[in-house]
Amino acid sequence: MQQSEITLHGHRVSYRSAGAGPLLLLLHGIAGTSSTWEEVGRGLQSSYSVLAPDLLGHGETAKPWRGDYSLGAYANLVRDLLSALGHERATLVGHSLGGGVALQFAYQFPDRCERLVLVSSGGLGHEVHPLLRSAALPGAELVLPLLCGQGARNAVARATQWLGRLGLRAGPDLEEIWRGFVSLGDADTRRAFLETARGVLDVRGQRVCAGDRLYLAEEIPTLIVWGERDPLIPVQHAYATHERIPGSRLDVFPRGGHFPHRDDPRRFVDLLLDFIATTQPARLADSRLRDRLRGAVERDATVRDREQRDGRAASALG
């Protein structure tokens, strides 16, 4: 995939791209970069245009000191990148934080989202590994520089090499987490990571959950992909989301971790190609979204009125 950059709103945005045809937009996770999609991109570029940006604060993209690292701002930047590169619509493939951004994009710009592919996605439940929750702890900005210093990184690197000499394979989870850990040695990247993490996490888990709005995704073809052994975000989120989005598809990689697209890229590409070939891109207008929202408001009002009547009846009997 060819790496390029563009300036948006005065900030550098780096992205990888390849191929030609309908657009697939690939969004990486927190502390990750677009490089996580290299193998997947090679498998898709013969049939599709593939676009994989480094999100704000990540990789080669700018890390502004007072940047907006909220999900809404990420979705806005993705929309602006598509427009600047001449793309109107895309199938969104989001991993971890990128899944949360994809969900937010579909919510803010439903007319520009053709399909959703959620890969070990954030924003679908509160549970998350304590490693990520620790980023929300007071004083994390003081501890991280010590953990990510060159001495600590060298110690972890030596331990990893020792495991390799013993014939033990670290696997994609450790490889990707290690790559993200090393990136935090840079002060600007570390600050952007903390800003992003604290926007979606607190000490109890994920603060942002799309569960109450998933009914709006019913008309968007949705594929959910997860690793059965995901140590960071539990696979139970995948099953619960599948139940809450009628017509969605679910594929769990039996031995996969948090990076199923890296665990088995060939299987992931085949799954994605089949999903796209057997679904029609969504065509949602703002009027349709308004109708669904009004319907939901009316249903909630009906339920609330019934509960109030039942409460008054119970009080009278009491």
Looking at residue 178, what is its pLDDT? 76
Looking at residue 179, what is its pLDDT? 82
Higher-scoring residue by pLDDT: 164, 242 = 242
Looking at residue 135, what is its pLDDT? 86
Looking at the DSSP assignment, which residues form a beta bridge with residue 5? Answer: 14
CA-closest candidate to residue 63, choices 192, 195, 194, 187: 192
The 10s digit of each residue's pLDDT in 274-298 is 999 999 999 876 556 656 656 655 5
Looking at residue 189, what is its pLDDT? 92
pLDDT at 146 exceeding the cut of 70: no
Q: Which ranges constitute the DSSP H helices of the chain?
A: 38-44, 71-84, 97-108, 130-133, 140-147, 150-165, 171-183, 187-200, 236-244, 260-263, 265-277, 286-317
Looking at the DSSP assignment, which residues form a beta bridge with residue 152? Answer: none
pLDDT at 307 exceeding the cut of 70: no
Structure pTM?
0.86
The 10s digit of each residue's pLDDT in 100-124 is 999 999 999 999 999 999 999 999 9
Higher-scoring residue by pLDDT: 271, 300 = 271
Contact 9, 20 (CB under 8 A): no
Beta strands at 11-18 and 201-202: parallel, antiparallel or unpaired: unpaired
Looking at residue 277, what is its pLDDT? 97
Looking at residue 79, what is its pLDDT? 98
Contact 238, 226 (CB under 8 A): yes
Looking at residue 164, what is its pLDDT? 45
Q: What are the structural domain ranges in the chain?
A: 2-284, 286-318
Mean pLDDT of 133-155: 69
Q: What is the CATH number of domain 2-284?
A: 3.40.50.1820
The 10s digit of each residue's pLDDT in 211-270 is 888 887 788 999 999 999 999 999 999 999 999 998 999 999 998 999 999 999 999 999
Looking at residue 272, what is its pLDDT? 98
Higher-scoring residue by pLDDT: 254, 155 = 254
Contact 193, 57 (CB under 8 A): yes
Looking at residue 167, what is its pLDDT? 39
The 10s digit of each residue's pLDDT in 186-203 is 899 999 999 999 999 998
Looking at residue 124, what is its pLDDT? 95
Mean pLDDT of 82-102: 97
User: Which residue numbers are catalytic?
Assistant: 96, 230, 258
Contact 24, 73 (CB under 8 A): no
Looking at the DSSP assignment, which residues form a beta bridge with residue 249? Answer: 223
Looking at residue 162, what is its pLDDT? 47
Beta strands at 201-202 and 205-206: parallel, antiparallel or unpaired: antiparallel
pLDDT at 175 exceeding the cut of 90: no
